[in-house]
Structure 1
Amino acid sequence: MNTVLGLGFILFAGLLSAKLVKKIGFPAVTAYLLLGIIIGPSLLKVVPKAVLASSGLISNIVLGIIAFGIGQNFSRYQMRRIGRSVLWISVLEACGAWILVTAIFYLILRQPFYLSMLFGSIASATAPAATVMVIREYRAKGNFTDTLLGVVAIDDAWCLIIFAVSLAIAQAIYAYQVAPFFLLKVLGESLLSIGGAFVLGALSAFLLSVLYRFIHTPTELLILTMGLVFINIGIAIWLNLSVLLASMFLGTVLVNINRYSFKFFDSLKMIASPLFLLFFVLAGANLEINILGSIGMLGLFYLIFRVAGKMLGANLGARIAHASTSVRKYLSYALVPQAGVALGCALIAKNDFPEVGNIIFTTIVATTVIYELFGPLLTKYALRKAGDIIV
C-alpha cells in the first residue's frame, strides 16, 4: 500500500470506526486509538512505513493546533468570568496528579526520578472533549456544570507548563545524571525556555493580528492562520523551544489583542478534524504490543494514582475556594478522561528518551484507552449526583 492510499484508508476507516463506537456511547478518540493498534505494525501491519514515518510531522502540527486552541481560553474576559473556584480547582487538581504520581513512582516503584517526573507531568492532563460530549448529550445545566467546563477548559494549559518544566529537569538528569535535589540551574534554564516560547508566540500573534487587516475572504484567513501557526511551530523546533508552549502563547496573546480572534480559531476547526484523526490513529499504530506486558505495575499505579491525585487536588481546591458541596464531592469524577495533550507529551518523551520512551508511550496509550472507555460514564455519574441532569 502506497503512502497516499494509506492515508486515505486511515481517514475512511477512522470515520467508520468513530461512527460505530458513538452508537455505544464512547468518544471517537477511543475508536481512533483502537483502530491504530489493530492496523499498526503490531497486528495487521496495514499502515505503510512511510505513513508511520510521518508521525513526527503530523504530531507536531496537531499538537501545535491543540495548544493554539487551548490559548483561546486565557482571554481577559474568560479569566474574569470563571472565578477563583475554577482557578483553585484546576491548578490543584493538575498539581495533585503531578506530585502524587511522581512521588509514588519514585518512592514506591523505585523508578528513576526523571522518569517519575515525566509520568507525573503527563498525569496532570485532562481531555475536555469527552467531558463536553457527555454534557451536551444529556443537556446538563447548573453551577456544577459551569465549574466543570471552566476547569477542563484550562487544565491542559497547566499541564503544558508543568510538562515543560519537568521535561527540562528530566533531560538534565538523564543526560548528566544530575542529583534531583540540586537542579536550580536546570530550573532556571527551563524558565528561560518558557520565556523564549512566550516571546515567539507573542511575536507570531502580533504579526497575525497586523496581517489580518489585509484579509478579505475566509479562504485567505485560513491560509494566513495555518501559515503563521506552522511558522510558529517550525521556529520553535528550530530554536529547541516547546512547540506546545509557543503555540499556546500564540493563542493566548492573540485572543487578548484582537477582538476578532475567534475567527482565527474557527478557521482551523475544519482542517483540524482529519488531522486529529490521523494523529490518534498513528498514536495507536505506534503502540508496541509486545511491551504491554512489561508495563504491568507502572500502568496499574498510573491508572490509580493519577485519578487519586486529581481527586485530592480538586477537593482541596474546592474547599479553599468555598465551592458548593456537589463540586467538592463529585467534580473529580469528571476529570478522568485523558487524550490529546497527554499523548502528545508522551510522544515527545518517547523521542527524547530512547531507552525508556517506549515504556512511557505504551503506558500512556494503554491507559488512555481505559480512561476514555470509563471516563464518560464517571462524568455522567458526577453530573447526575450533582443534580445537573436527570437520568
Structure 2
Amino acid sequence: MTEFLPISTGFVWPLAVAIAWVLGEIVHRSTNLPRISVYSLTGVVLSYAQTGMLPRPSEGEITLIANMAFGLILFEFAYRINLRWLRLNWWLAASGLAESVATFVLVYIVVGMFGITGLPGLLIAALAVSTSPAEVLRVVNEQRSSGQVTERVLHLAALNCLFAVFIFNLIVGLWSFQHSGSVWSAVSNSLLVLAASGALGVAFGYAVPVLLRKLGILAQDATLAFSIAVILLAALAQAFKISPILATLGFGLMVRHRREALSPAQRNFGALGDLLTVLLFVFIGASLAWPSIVAGADIALALLGARFLSKLAGATLFARFSGTTWRKGLLTGVAMSPMSVLVIGLMVQTRSMGIDLMDQLAPLATATLLLAIFGPVLTQLALKFAGETSEPQEK
C-alpha cells in the first residue's frame, strides 16, 4: 500500500497511531471494550502482511520506541509490586510459582501432541507462562481498579513474567549452543543477558533517586524525571543487546524496595505514556503475519485452552490458603489471560541477538493475536465481576 501513497515510510507509523487512537475511542465509547484491544487489531490490519501500510516492525527505529513504551509500563508495574507482601503471604508466592510450573508443563505436553517437541516446544511453553504486565496494568489504570483481585493479578503477573523471562533466556542459550556449538554464545545469550539486565536495572534504581534527591526534585512531580530515566534505560538495554524487560522491571522493583515515594508521578506517565501505549499496541499487532496466524490456529487454540485451565486452577486452588475466597481466586485466574506484549517483547529481544524464532513458532502468532484482542477484555470482565472497577462515565 505504501508504494501507492505519496508519503515516506517515516510517516506511516504516526498515521497508524492516529487511526488506532480514533478507532479505540469510538469503539470504547460505544461498547466499553478496552482501547488496547482495538489498538492491537488496528496494527494487525495495517501490518506488512495484511494491507501492507506498515513496514516490518524490526525495520528502523520503531523497535526502540516500542521498547521505551514497554519500559514505561514495566517500571510503573514493578513499582506497584510489594515484595514484603509476597514474603509475608508466602502462599501467594507459592501459588504463582506452582501455577507457572503447571502452565509450562501442561502447554509443553499439549503442543507435543501436535508434534512440536524439543526446543520449539520448550520456547512456546515458556512464553505461554507469561501474563503480560502491559495489558493488565493498562486495564487496571483505565478502569481505575483497586482491591484484592487487582493486587493479586499484578503480583502473580510479576511472578509469571520473571519466571517466563528466566526460562526463556535459558532455552535461547541452549538453542544458541545447538546451532553454533559455542559455549560462550550460549552463555552470553542466556545467563549474561539475565545478569547484565538485572544489574543495569538495579544500578538505575539506586542512582536515579539519589540524583533526583540531590537536585531537590524527588518530592516534586517525578513523572518527567522517571520517564527520561526509563527511556534512557530502554535505549541502553537495546544498544547492549540485553533485556529491556528485565532491566526496567529491576529499576521499578528497586525504587519500590528502597521506599522512594513516587506518588506525584502521573498514572500511565501522563500524556507521554498514553501516546506511547497506543504505538506499543499497534506495534504488537503489526508484528503478526496472517500466514503464520492461519498456520498455527489449531495448535494455538489447544495451547490457549491448556494455559487458561492451568492459570484458573492455580489461582483457585491456592485461594483459601493465600487468604481470599474461591470466587476471587477464580476471577484472579481469568484476569491473568493477557500475554501478547511480553511474548512479542521477548521475540524482538532474540531478533537483536540474530535469532529469529517467530517463523518456527507459528502457534504463538495465533495465540498472541487472540489474546491481544480478547485478553484485556477478560481482565476487564474479571475486575468488574470482582466489584473493583470505578471507571468514570464517558461524556
Deviations 1:349-373 (A, max 9, x none): 5665425446265234322245337
The residue identity in structure 1 corresponding to 2:305 is I
Give the TM-score normalised by the residue count of structure 2: 0.79
- Whether the aligned pair in 2 keeps the contact of 1:315 and 1:328 (CA below 8 Å) is yes
Tell me, in whole angstroms, the C-alpha distance in 2 between the residues paired with 1:207 and 1:75. 21
Tell me, in whole angstroms, the C-alpha distance in 1 between the residues paired with 2:230 and 2:222. 12
Structure 1 counterpart of 2:4: none
Structure 2 counterpart of 1:243: 244
Deviations 1:261-319 (A, max 9, x none): 34457583431111111111122123211232211222112221110110222123225
Q: 1:235 to 1:217 in 2, by over 3 A?
A: closer
Tell me, in whole angstroms, the C-alpha distance in 1 between the residues paired with 2:16 and 2:259. 37
The residue identity in structure 2 corresponding to 1:282 is F
Tell me, in whole angstroms, the C-alpha distance in 2 between the residues paired with 1:15 and 1:55. 17
Tell me, in whole angstroms, the C-alpha distance in 1 between the residues paired with 2:286 and 2:9. 15
Q: 1:95 to 1:261 in 2, by over 3 A?
A: farther
Give the TM-score normalised by the residue count of structure 1: 0.80
Structure 1 counterpart of 2:196: 196
What does residue range 112-151 of structure 1 map to in structure 2 within 5 Å?
Answer: 112-126=117-131, 127-129=135-137, 132=140, 136=144, 146-151=147-152
Structure 2 counterpart of 1:321: 322
- Whether the aligned pair in 1 keeps the contact of 2:56 and 2:286 (CA below 8 Å) is no
1:28 aligns with 2:35: yes
- Whether the aligned pair in 2 keeps the contact of 1:118 and 1:349 (CA below 8 Å) is no
TM-superposed deviation, 1:74: 2.9
- Whether the aligned pair in 2 keeps the contact of 1:101 and 1:120 (CA below 8 Å) is yes
TM-superposed deviation, 1:21: 2.0
Mind listing any 5+ residue stretches in structure 2 that lack a counterpart?
Answer: 1-6, 389-395
Deviations 1:301-339 (A, max 9, x none): 222111011022212322543642323454423332344
Deviations 1:120-146 (A, max 9, x none): 22222334247537965xx8xxxxx73
Q: 1:269 to 1:18 in 2, by over 3 A?
A: same
Root-mean-square deviation over aligned CA pairs: 3.7
Deviations 1:365-385 (A, max 9, x none): 32224533751575268538x
Tell me, in whole angstroms, the C-alpha distance in 2 between the residues paired with 1:319 and 1:258. 30
The residue identity in structure 1 corresponding to 2:374 is Y
The residue identity in structure 2 corresponding to 1:281 is V
Q: 1:202 to 1:330 in 2, by over 3 A?
A: closer
Q: 1:222 to 1:335 in 2, by over 3 A?
A: closer
The residue identity in structure 2 corresponding to 1:119 is I
Tell me, in whole angstroms, the C-alpha distance in 1 between the residues paired with 2:329 and 2:273. 35
Percent identity for Structure 1 against Structure 2: 16
TM-superposed deviation, 1:253: 0.8
Q: 1:281 to 1:221 in 2, by over 3 A?
A: same
Tell me, in whole angstroms, the C-alpha distance in 2 between the residues paired with 1:156 and 1:359. 24
Tell me, in whole angstroms, the C-alpha distance in 2 between the residues paired with 1:51 and 1:199. 26
1:73 aligns with 2:116: no
Q: 1:74 to 1:219 in 2, by over 3 A?
A: closer
Tell me, in whole angstroms, the C-alpha distance in 1 between the residues paired with 2:233 and 2:376. 34
1:111 aligns with 2:113: no
Q: 1:79 to 1:236 in 2, by over 3 A?
A: same
TM-superposed deviation, 1:254: 1.1
Deviates more, 1:163-172 or 1:243-252: 163-172
Tell me, in whole angstroms, the C-alpha distance in 2 between the residues paired with 1:198 and 1:261. 21
The residue identity in structure 2 corresponding to 1:206 is Y
- Whether the aligned pair in 1 keeps the contact of 2:268 and 2:274 (CA below 8 Å) is no
Structure (1 or 2) with the greater helix fraction: 1
TM-superposed deviation, 1:64: 2.0
Structure 2 counterpart of 1:366: 369
Deviates more, 1:125-134 or 1:294-303: 125-134
Q: 1:116 to 1:225 in 2, by over 3 A?
A: same
Structure 2 counterpart of 1:142: none
- Whether the aligned pair in 1 keeps the contact of 2:34 and 2:139 (CA below 8 Å) is no
Aligned residues: 372
Tell me, in whole angstroms, the C-alpha distance in 2 between the residues paired with 1:93 and 1:200. 29
Give the secondary-structure state (helix, strand or coil) at the position aligned to 2:375: helix
- Whether the aligned pair in 2 keeps the contact of 1:60 and 1:243 (CA below 8 Å) is yes
